[in-house]
Chains A and B, each alone.
Chain A
Amino acid sequence: MLVNIIDKLGDWNPQFWREVKGSLKSRNIAIAAGAALILQFLVGQTFLSYLPVVKIFNGAVTPTSNFYCTGSGKMCLLENSSFVINWPWWWYHIFICLTILVTVVLLIGGSYAIAKNLAKEERRGTLNFIRYSPQSTTTILVGKVLGVPILVYIFALLTAPLQLWAGFAAQISPIVIGGFWVVLAASCAFFYSIALSFGLSLSTQKANINSDWQAGYASVLVLLFLGLSAIKPIHNNIADWLNLFSPLILLFHTSNPVYGADSGIFSYWNLQNLRWFYIPVGASIWGTITLVLLNYFVWTFWIWQVLSRRFANPQGLIISKQQSYKFMAGFTGISLGFILQLSNNGSDLKLLDSGGYLGAENAILNYGIMPALLNFVVLLILTICLSPPRQVLRDWARYRVSMRKNFPVRKQSPIKQIAQDLVLVDKSPAPLAIAINTAIATIPVTAVLLFYNFQYFDRIKVIFSALFFMSIVAIYASLYQFLTSMKLPQNSNFAAMAMISAIFLPPFSLLLLGLNMIKSPGIWLMSTWPWGGINTGKVSMMVMGLLTEWLVLILINWQLRNRLQKAGESDSKHLLATNSDH
């Protein structure tokens, strides 16, 4: 019967069939099942050992205190010659323990297996044969996601009954338990999609990296991400976004009065304060589930856009320029939700001040610097993703006119044609597209800062900060594209390293030279970290700094233009020029 079911599933998804056929050997199933049973046995034994034991000394019961006893000061009360135990509280800990273990095993184990499998296939070249088949990318990758971690799924399924039993015995709401499994499924989809893209992208670039190491990197990243998002309390700033990536966030809603005074073990998360566009999503279980699922859905959707392109064409760019604009608009929309969460009259600030972390003095950090830093990181990643490699740039420069035949448009002036190419065509240089993305990211946030909570912000400084931000990102994008257009071995790695050095070296050098931001704002305004000088700098200094940045931007783009023009010259022209020299 099992063979028939697998056979039918194979008709539905051949890739799932192949993975199951490879992994579902009786030895492997026994190992997975054994591991699940041993784990449950160990958890059960550990928690049993925490229970108090009745000890009789000189015919009387020795007074005992225990974490699970119900008396005052945790003293154990005797009833029918055994201690009264707060069983829901005891089951609650088993539930929490099993929930964390299942989450970690599912996410880390599954991500490792998927990243390793895909990297191995890509390196061997077997994935190409699947690409030649008429199956869609979605079918193949869904088959991988469902089939490769099949042993991890078996492990989780066998652990689930005890976890569910513990949950019900701990009197946890079925909505929370059911909601947790739905959120866990969504988080598997998200983290496994990351593992897929990790396996696909790194293996095509670094043929010398061992697939075990590669999968190891992926799982460590998932672990770090998961750990960080699971332990961070809510601070009512954009960093709260991170919490939405942890399926364990729902554990906050598991507290129950029957547990006694200690019931809120996750209360330090302050999830009740989580808001998004003023909506108190963290206060209710439904709000939390909805926002977490929405967050996973949006990110998984975008990762699959990347996967579809990467799988179909490993040499192509992982995201198109048009997709990048939509992505950035969506990203900015969601991030605004984390900025727009306090009302103008400051009544919420007082409330949040009692939390100790957030106050009016931190508004610039929370709503100005942190969103800018996040946008900066996202824009740098987009720069790397959108910048075509040297060969593609050369092809575009050389065959741009012929390529346009594929995109018939009405007659346009050459400048308009170039502009259209730079904005829409994936093979063209990326700086203009990055500049547009930067504007999409910066303008709405700046507008919000100018008109919201304005008592905390100096409008002029906000405008200059935004202008500096856009200029600096445009400089980095141009620099990266210029470096990738050079003939260097592994030039994309070199360009990335150079870009990172350009970000960090100048401010570190200034600090080492003892030129601090308060005393020498002018120099900082002209460096790659101009925000350092904004707080104390004069407007004239800021204008000078901005003009300097623009001059650098123009120079880099001028050089890039010259380089591309040279690359685009036909070989015969090159040959004729060489001959005429002789």
Chain B
Amino acid sequence: MPAELAICTKGLTKQFDRHIAVNDVDLEVNIGEVYGLIGPNGAGKTTLLRMLAAAEEPTIGEIYINGERWRCDRSNRTLKRNLGYLPDDYPLYEDLTVWDYLDYFARLYGLRGKERHRRLYEVLELVQLINKSNSLIATLSRGMKQRLGLARAIIHEPILLLLDEPVSGLDPIARMQFRDIITALREAGMTIVISSHILSDLAELCTSVGIMELGYLVESASLQELYRRLSRQQIVLTTLGDVKFMAMELKKSPLVENWETIPGTNSVRAFFSGTETDSAELLRSLVMAGIPIAEFHCTRESLESIFLNLGHQQAS
């Protein structure tokens, strides 16, 4: 097992009756990566994460965490110490204060004395709950509870963090706050596997992405590789003149594969296969042709459209 792999699964399968929730998944996640799991509801993301967290026993297959075999029926203390898991539901002890809750879990993970206090302050600051440390958990908002759940998952400084739909149901500000925390954890060198429906968030956070459908891992690659292979470069052009003339000029360029007018505007979205130099050349040719260009903006297809273009249409 290569030592640089944080997670490696071989033929991982989970079957419920005749339904195969996770089917023969070979997943590889490198150390230090932020790996996003995407897929429709029922694709097997949660089951896969639960098996990685040893919360669910695989029907068949093997899981290796940092090169070590991970089994549901064995209490592997070292692996448990290295793993943090935030499931999609995160029941909390409503009768405890934020501080006592985290203190309890810090003790469960073997943190002692001053080290525990230091870590508690550190984590509370990271999740922006320092001013709520003496509040009862029952009084917290949903976003705060979500952040407290994350604080619990990282209190012992795991080297691998599994997050299942961590931003679902949060308002935009809470989502942004959560994203910032994940960015900070990524910078701290933690390997993170995160499943989410909100692909724009994943596009910002992840270094690699896996796409699941009907229990299969149908795609697993670095984000760069995915963009290189599946994302077409787009150029958004806006003219002050007639959009038809601009379109005629675009047709002349062999690197423009296709184009579409953006309705209600004087803009065109062109799918371009050239390099940066080629796009500069295209701009120059348009200006030389006398097209009054107001905007020339290179962009890429979003993760969401890549996902949709792949045709993964499994019903939720």
Contact = CB atoms under 8 A, between A and B. Distances in A.
B265 interface: no
A126 B81 contact: no
Contact of A571 (B18, B55, B91, B109): B18
A402 B16 CA distance: 17
Q: Is the interface of A mostly helix, strand, loop or mixed?
A: helix
Contacts of B87: 128
B277 interface: no
Contact of B75 (A11, A22, A136, A398): A136
Interface string A1-39: 000000000110011011001100000000000000000
Contacts of A134: 75, 77-78, 80-81, 108-110
B73 A313 contact: yes
Interface stretch (B39-47, B93-101, B234-242): B93-101
B251 interface: no
A14 B107 contact: yes
B300 interface: no
B57 interface: yes
B60 interface: yes
Contacts of A399: 13, 59-60
Nearest to B107: A14
Contacts of A22: 93, 95-96
A357 interface: no
Given A132-B55, A316-B57, A391 B105 contact: no
Interface in A497-511: none
A312 interface: yes
A129 B155 CA distance: 13
Interface in B272-314: none
B53 interface: yes
A554 interface: no
B204 interface: no
Interface in A119-139: 124-126, 128-137
A395 interface: yes
Given A124-B91, A125-B89, A14 B15 contact: no
B112 interface: yes
A132 B15 contact: no
Contacts, number: 79
B107 A132 contact: no
A394 B17 CA distance: 7
Contacts of B78: 134
B152 interface: yes
Given A137-B75, A398-B15, A11 B112 contact: yes
A318 to B, nearest CB: 13
B191 to A, nearest CB: 17
B83 interface: yes
Interface footprint category on B: 35 or more
B95 A132 contact: no
Most buried by A among B60, B107, B109: B107
A125 B13 CA distance: 24
Nearest to B110: A134
Nearest to A13: B107
B31 interface: no
A126 B93 contact: yes
Contact of A130 (B95, B108, B110): B108
B247 interface: no
A487 B18 CA distance: 11
B178 interface: no
Contacts of A398: 15, 59
B55 A128 contact: yes
Contacts of A137: 75
A403 interface: yes
Contact of B73 (A21, A126, A316, A571): A316
A394 B15 contact: yes
B92 A126 contact: yes
A129 B105 CA distance: 9
A125 B90 CA distance: 8
B75 A391 contact: no
A362 interface: no
A18 B75 contact: no
Interface footprint category on A: 35 or more
Given A17-B107, A21-B100, A313-B57, A129 B152 contact: yes
Contacts of B107: 10-11, 14, 17
A14 B91 CA distance: 19
Nearest to A128: B55
A403 B96 CA distance: 43
B245 interface: no
Interface string A318-330: 0000000000000
A522 to B, nearest CB: 44
Contacts of B100: 21
A62 interface: no
A117 B107 CA distance: 20
Contacts of A391: 15-17
A306 to B, nearest CB: 14
Contacts of B152: 129
A395 B87 CA distance: 25
A392 to B, nearest CB: 9
B262 interface: no
A416 B95 CA distance: 56
Contacts of A125: 89, 91
B104 interface: yes
Given A126-B92, A313-B72, A313-B73, A18 B104 contact: yes
A315 interface: yes
Contacts of A15: 108
A504 to B, nearest CB: 32
Interface in A308-358: 312-313, 315-316
A133 B105 contact: yes
A207 to B, nearest CB: 14
B80 A133 contact: yes
B16 A132 contact: no
B85 interface: yes
Contacts of B109: 133-134
Contacts of A124: 91
Contacts of B15: 391, 394-395, 398
B60 A17 contact: no
A11 B16 CA distance: 41
B75 A312 contact: yes
A15 B54 CA distance: 21
A137 B77 CA distance: 11
A134 B17 CA distance: 32
B23 to A, nearest CB: 10
Contacts of A487: 17
A432 B13 CA distance: 29
A316 B56 CA distance: 10
Contacts of A313: 57, 72-73
A402 B72 CA distance: 17
A554 B107 CA distance: 55
Contacts of B92: 126
Contacts of B75: 134, 136-137, 312
Contacts of A10: 107
Contacts of B108: 14-15, 130, 133-135
Interface string A401-424: 011000000000000000000000
A11 B114 CA distance: 12
13 contacts: A11-B113, A14-B108, A17-B104, A22-B93, A126-B91, A131-B55, A133-B105, A133-B109, A137-B75, A316-B57, A391-B17, A403-B60, A571-B20
- The 6 closest A-B CB pairs, nearest first, are A14-B107, A134-B77, A133-B108, A134-B80, A125-B91, A124-B91
Given A17-B104, A399-B59, 8 more contacts: A21-B104, A22-B96, A124-B91, A126-B91, A133-B105, A134-B81, A136-B77, A312-B75
